[in-house]
Amino acid sequence: MPCYNEVDTLAGAVERVLESPYPREVIVVDDGSTDGSLDVARKIDDDRVIVVALERNHGKGAALRAGFARATSPFVVIQDADLEYDPADYEILLEPLLDDRADVVYGSRFMGGEPHRVLHFWHSVGNKFLTLLSNAMTDLNLTDMETGYKAFRIEALKSMTLEEDRFGVEPEITAKVAAGNWRVYEVGISYSGRTYAQGKKIGWKDGVRALVCILKYSPPGTRVRELGRR
C-alpha cells in the first residue's frame, strides 16, 4: 500500500483491507508524507500491518519497490491508500490466481458492470491512448493498462527489476509482464475516482512519462517491431 499524504483515508483503507478474508500481511509504505500519514500508519494495532518509511518523497514506483521487497505472501495486490479501488473486489481480482489460471491479474475500470464514479473525459482519452500504445508494443490486449489494481503471483513479481520512481511504473510493469510471458487475466472492478481537489496526484507530466516508458521498456520481438523489420 503506497501512501503519500493520505492522512484522511489511510486508516480507513487499511481497515477495509483487513476486513477482507484474504490478506496475510498489509505492507504500508509511507513515501515521505508530510501530513502525519506515517504516524497514523504506526498507530494501527494489527500484527499483519508492516510499516515501511521512506525518508523523502520518491514516487509511487519507489514505494512499490520498497513494499514488494518486503512481501512474502504467495499473492500480492497493489492497494492504494485513497480507496479509489475497493478491497471488496479482492475476490474477483484473486480468483484467476487462486484457480491457477493466471500469474498476473489486472483490475479494469473499463470492463464489466461494476459501478464507477464519472470523472474527467480527457483522463479517459489519455488512458485509452496509452493502453492502446502499450498493447501494440507488448502484443497484449488490455482495456486498462494504467489501472492501480494489479495482483501478482509472487514469483512473477519477484522476477521483475523495476526502475521507475513515479507513475511510469505502470507501463513498466506491463512491459515486463509481457516480456516474462506470464499468464495475464483482466477482470472488471468498481472504481471511485477522486478529483484533484480531493487529492488526486497524477498529472499530464506523468502521462508524458508513461509514453516514454512504453517505448523504453517494451520487450523485443513484439508484433510492431517485427512488422518494422519487414
pLDDT higher than 60, residue 194 = no
Residue bearing the bigger pLDDT, 134 or 228: 134
Report whether pLDDT(225) > 50: no
CA distance 162 to 165: 9
* Residue ranges in the chain assigned as alpha helix (H): 10-19, 37-42, 60-70, 90-98, 121-138, 154-158, 169-179, 204-217, 223-229
Q: Where residue 66 falls among pLDDT bands split at 50, 70, 90?
A: very high
Q: Which of 15-19, 104-108, 220-224 has the lowest mean pLDDT?
A: 220-224
CATH classification at residue 112? 3.90.550.10
Q: In the chain, how many domains are there?
A: 1
Quote the pLDDT of residue 117.
Answer: 66
Give residues with Cβ within 8 angstroms of 220, minimum separation 6.
none
Q: If you average pLDDT over every residue of the chain, what do you get?
A: 89
C-alpha cell of residue 146: 494504467
Task: Give the domain range for residue 214.
Answer: 2-229
Longest distance between any two alpha carbons in the chain, whole Å: 60
On whether the CB atoms of residues 91 and 190 are closer than 8 A, the answer is no
Burial of 47 (0-12, 13-18, 19+ CB in 10 A): exposed
Distance between CA atoms of residues 38 and 25, nearest Å: 18
Asked if residue 195 has pLDDT above 70, the reply is: no
Residues 6+ apart with CB under 8 A from 76: 68, 151, 152, 154, 157
pLDDT of residue 196: 47
- Environment class of 34 (CB within 10 Å of its CB; exposed 0-12, middle 13-18, buried 19+): exposed
Write out pLDDT tens, residues 125-159: 888 999 999 999 999 999 999 999 999 999 999 99
| pLDDT of 200 strictly over 90 | no
Identify the pLDDT of residue 113: 62
Copy the grid coordinates of residue 163.
526502475
Mean pLDDT for 72-101 is 96
Query: Distance between CA atoms of 83 and 29, rounded to whole angstroms?
Result: 15
pLDDT score of 205: 82
pTM for this one?
Answer: 0.88
